[in-house]
Amino acid sequence: MSSKLEQLQALVAPVVEALGYECWGIEFLSQGRHSLLRIYIDHANGILIDDCEKVSRQISGVLDVEDPISAEYTLEVSSPGMDRPLFTLAQFASHVGEQVKIKLRSPFEGRRNFQGLLRGVEEEDVVVQVDDHEFLLPIDMIDKANIIPRFD
């Protein structure tokens, strides 16, 4: 995790948790002069637009005071949704048996994109089965990972 993400996580997570939600994850996409800060929140009862608004107002206040992002940015608060992104080893472990789509920061065994069955977590690696091959992907190489929703 980059130092900017760690700094944002340290500021944002306590605010989200104090409001009674789980801070599922944070994405910071720096796009030249304008950036996007996306914060995913979760709750056992689900997330409604009112929940996102409440968290957004609180986080805006903290970010205005602390000013961790010097450039212009958009703050977006969202539920993880059905195609929920996975950020931590614990999140991967809790979704074993699901189909996942993973994109790496750099190639691993000649490829960056993996789509298959999430088999588990071993130490700092995520285990994904693609067709007949099992890959152990280091968590620090994962750029983006999402659950592939099932519609049974």
Tell the CATH superfamily of the 3-78 domain: RimP-like superfamily, N-terminal (3.30.300.70)
Q: Which tens digit of pLDDT belongs to each residue from 52-100?
A: 999 999 999 999 999 888 888 999 999 999 999 999 999 999 999 999 9
Output the pTM of the full model: 0.89
Percent of the chain with pLDDT over 90: 84
Q: Which fold has domain 85-147?
A: SH3 type barrels. (2.30.30)
Phi, psi of 70 (to 5 degrees): -75, -30
DSSP 128: E
| Domain ranges across the chain | 3-78, 85-147
Q: How many CB atoms lie within 10 A of CB 44?
A: 6
Determine the Cα–Cα distance for residues 39 and 20; give it in Å rounded to an integer.
15
Share of the chain above pLDDT 70, in %: 99
Confidence tier at 1 by pLDDT (50, 70, 90) = low
pLDDT single digits (tens) 116-138: 999 999 999 999 999 999 999 99
The pLDDT tens digits for 100-115 are 999 999 999 899 999 9
